[in-house]
């Protein structure tokens, strides 16, 4: 296990190994998403209070969960890069930011679309919604900070500190529905006792959450591999694979490798 | 349940389908941007090598 992780920390092996994973990760994403959509949009019965509008949950809740998960992932990989000076950790943290921002945006907008028919308003400045909006700004700040600093190591260090400091917002988002009075409903799945949701409605949610999770790692690896090529352009193996200069005249045949 | 009823979503069709449409857009965006970024980076790398060779 450790030997394998150690191998993954090497850019060259990371590039080779993850290249083989990506098609399979797409298959797994679809294996979760297709039944999730079928059960969620077709099989699950309408909610007795919310009617069919509750089906927005199957994209809203996984997106919101991912917005938190990706932020923690970004802070942890950023921290690893900060402490152990690991290039792959830096790349992972930087690559996850735009994906996390997009999921946060999705959670906010689908929440507004769901809020309109249920609460009668697109938006309220309550604890859950406001802290999730702050999360979006943290992601955008992180991306802007990365982009503002030319030297990759310095950029990674500064951004990692921002990510770690900003992670104080994560428990605030999670517990906001318990700590403050809010329009947003409380947790139904992650309760200590039995989830307050019928299995026919719960299954599609779990499938969609799993699909979003695998999807995240798939597009993350796609981004990370490209970012890695650019940062490792001085390395011999990158040049052998993608350089078509006079020094490596036969490397063009290698370009089919994706 | 027939198709018409299904699209109607008990009167919430506009809300439900716009949410799913936006989700599809976000998921596609996350797929397409790395593909374009990859093309751009490969082009940049090759230019960079050409420049390196000229200088050395």
- Residue A184's pLDDT band, with cuts at 50, 70 and 90, is confident
pLDDT value, residue B38: 95
pTM of this prediction? 0.89
DSSP A29-49: HHHHHHHHHHIIIIISPPBTT
CA of A207 to nearest chain B CA: how many angstroms apart?
A: 15
Task: With CB atoms and an 8 Å threshold, state whether A102 touches B26.
Answer: yes
Contact in structure between A98 and A51 (CB atoms under 8 Å): no
pLDDT at A255 over 50: no
Which residues of A fall within a CB distance of 8 Å from B45? 229-230, 233, 238, 242-243
Q: Residue B3 and residue A251: Cα distance in Å, rounded? A: 54
pLDDT value, residue A101: 98
A159 Cβ under 8 Å from any chain B Cβ? no
pLDDT tens, A200-236? 889 999 999 999 999 999 999 999 999 999 999 999 9
Structure tokens at A162: 């921002």
- Determine the straight-line distance between the first and last CA of chain A, rounded to whole angstroms: 26
Place of tokens 């990674």: A156
| Helix residue spans in chain A (DSSP H) | 2-8, 11-38, 57-84, 87-119, 127-148, 152-166, 169-179, 199-231, 236-242
- Residue A90's pLDDT band, with cuts at 50, 70 and 90, is very high
pLDDT tens, A123-145? 989 889 999 999 999 999 999 99
Q: Residue A184 and residue A201: Cα distance in Å, rounded? A: 19
Write the CA distances from A88 to A5, A257, B1, B4, B27, integer angstroms: 11, 21, 51, 50, 24
Residue A51's beta-bridge partner residues? A47
Highest mean pLDDT, choosing among A3-12, A111-120, A178-187: A111-120
pLDDT value, residue A195: 63
Planar angle of CA A238, A223, A155, nearest 5 degrees: 85
Backbone angles phi, psi at A85, to 5 degrees: 60, 40
Place of tokens 């979006």: A136
Q: Residue A177 and residue A182: Cα distance in Å, rounded? A: 6
Which residues of B fall within a CB distance of 8 Å from A49? none
pLDDT tens, A106-118? 999 999 999 999 8
Return mean pLDDT, chain A: 89
pLDDT value, residue A1: 77
Q: How many CB pairs under 8 A join A and B?
A: 99
Measure the CA dihedral A96/A100/A103/A108, to 10°: -170
pLDDT tens, A7-58? 888 889 999 999 999 999 999 999 999 999 999 999 888 888 888 989 999 9
Contact in structure between A231 and A81 (CB atoms under 8 Å): no
Q: Residue A36 and residue A45: Cα distance in Å, rounded? A: 14
pLDDT tens, B13-48? 899 999 999 999 999 999 999 999 999 999 999 999
């Amino acid at each position: 296990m450790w030997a394998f992780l150690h191998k993954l920390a090497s850019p060259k092996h990371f590039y080779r190994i993850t290249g083989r994973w990506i098609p399979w990760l797409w298959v797994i994403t679809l294996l979760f998403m297709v039944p999730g959509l079928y059960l969620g949009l077709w099989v699950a019965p309408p909610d007795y209070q919310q009617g069919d509008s509750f089906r927005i949950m199957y994209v809203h809740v996984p997106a919101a969960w991912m917005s938190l998960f990706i932020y923690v992932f970004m802070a942890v990989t950023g921290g690893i890069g900060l402490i152990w000076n690991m290039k792959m950790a830096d790349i992972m943290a930087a690559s996850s930011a735009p994906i996390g921002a997009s999921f946060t945006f999705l959670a906010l907008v689908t929440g507004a679309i769901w809020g309109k028919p249920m609460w009668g308003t697109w938006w309220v400045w309550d604890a859950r919604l406001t802290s999730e909006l702050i999360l979006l700004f943290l992601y955008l700040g992180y991306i802007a900070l990365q982009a503002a600093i030319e030297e990759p190591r310095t950029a990674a260090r500064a951004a990692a500190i921002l990510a770690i400091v900003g992670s104080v917002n994560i428990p605030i988002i999670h517990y906001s529905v318990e700590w403050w009075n809010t329009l947003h409903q409380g947790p139904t799945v992650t309760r200590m006792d039995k989830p307050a949701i019928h299995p026919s409605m719960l299954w599609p949610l779990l499938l969609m959450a799993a699909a979003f999770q695998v999807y995240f790692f798939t597009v993350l690896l796609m981004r990370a591999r490209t970012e890695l090529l650019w940062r490792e352009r001085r390395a011999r193996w990158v040049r052998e694979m993608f350089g078509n200069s006079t020094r490596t005249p036969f490397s063009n045949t290698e370009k089919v490798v994706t | 349940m027939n198709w018409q009823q299904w699209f109607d979503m008990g009167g919430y069709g506009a809300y439900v389908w716009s949410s799913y449409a936006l989700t599809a857009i976000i998921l596609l965006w996350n797929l397409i941007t790395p593909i374009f970024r990859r093309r751009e980076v490969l082009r940049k790398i090759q230019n960079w090598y050409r420049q390196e060779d000229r200088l050395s």
